[in-house]
Structure formats: structure tokens, C-alpha cells
Structure 1
């Protein structure tokens, strides 16, 4: 399967966060999230495993009780059902990978 960028829909994930589902099947999903400065993905959890890569910007991440500042080139892994949040200190882009696919994000993207 190939997906061209001009075929991908952008949707609002949260205030100041726009997202694009770049590719997915039932077991895997890749999402590009663009954060404005000070945008927040509030503390949440989901049954999906998540890995991410910071393409640009500076972010404060909280995973469980640990906090870290991440910037371009840094990455992270979040186990399923683990509480986590993210705040953009400087706006930028994070590439997220989920397994299995997040059907809730598919629905959100289709309703935009």
C-alpha cells in the first residue's frame, strides 16, 4: 500500500494540534501531529502501544510520573494503558506510531 501526502486529510486532534494519518492497517498506524507553541495533549491513556519521534520543536513529555524535555531527533515509547501527556514548549511536529491501529483517530479524521 502506498499513500501520497496529497491524499491525506488533516484534522484537529485538540486545540493547537493538527493531525494527519499517514498510513494504517488494522495492526499499525502512523500519525503526523503538528503542535502550535503551548498546545497540550492533556494526560490520557489508551490500550495501544505508542512510539514517537520528534521531527521539530521542543516538547515537555510526561509518561507516568517521569517528565522529560524532548527535541528534534529524540524519541519515546509509551506502553499500553500508561498515562501520558505532551506540551509544546516550541511548536513542532511529532511522528507517532501506534499498534494496533487507533480506530478512534480514524473516526475523528473522517468526521472532520
Structure 2
């Protein structure tokens, strides 16, 4: 059986999962090749520096964040995008409460509780 999400994922029907202090996420669609995740940050919350083998792109839907990707640090805000190549250390600090839309390839099986 193919691993995939439902076709339609209404926000009101999707549970918010804890993803760190002041951070929650909703998985908004996936199959084996791709995954989209909405991540909500409170002001001051951190996305702890980490690496993973997935390619990641992030769209800043709202708020302001200080992102560190590799050796580069930038302030990003609504409308901006970030690309993180596989295995590069990255993380963020939320400067103004907001929402990030993360896309991963391949999907993050660890987000589904599957190893």
C-alpha cells in the first residue's frame, strides 16, 4: 500500500502537534516523495539547529524570523523563502509570531512516527 495523506486536508480538521516549546505543526499533505508542513511559532520560540538528509524549502507565511543556514544568518518575513540543502545545519528564532510552510523531499517519515 502506498504511503500518502488524504487528498483534502481542511485546516479545521487537522490536529496541531507539539514541535518544541512555543512551536506546533500541522502536516498538510505528503507521499513518499514530498511533504508539506505548516509550523506555527510564538514570539521567542526557536527551531533548534539541526540537520537532516531531506531537501527543505520554507515559505514565510507570516511573522518575522532570524534564520541561520550553514554559516549564513538572515532576518526573513512574510513572503520570503528559504532553501536548505540536505545535511546543512539550520535553525531559527521567531522574532514576531508567525507561520512557516515547510516542504520536504523526500517526506519526513519521522513526522509520522515511522522510522
TM superposition score category, shorter chain reference? over 0.9
**Structure 1 length-normalised TM:** 0.92
Aligned pair partner of 2:94 in 80, 88, 102: 88
More strand by share: 1
1:28 aligns to what?
34
Q: Can you give the 5+ residue segments of structure 2 that lack an aligned partner in the other structure?
A: 1-6
Q: Give 3-state SS (helix, strand or coil) of 1:104's partner.
A: helix
What CA distance in whole angstroms lies between the structure 1 residues aligned with 2:42 and 2:10?
24
**RMSD, aligned α-carbons:** 1.2
**Structure 2 length-normalised TM:** 0.90
Matched, 1:65 2:74: no
What CA distance in whole angstroms lies between the structure 2 residues aligned with 1:74 and 1:6?
25
What CA distance in whole angstroms lies between the structure 1 residues aligned with 2:107 and 2:13?
19
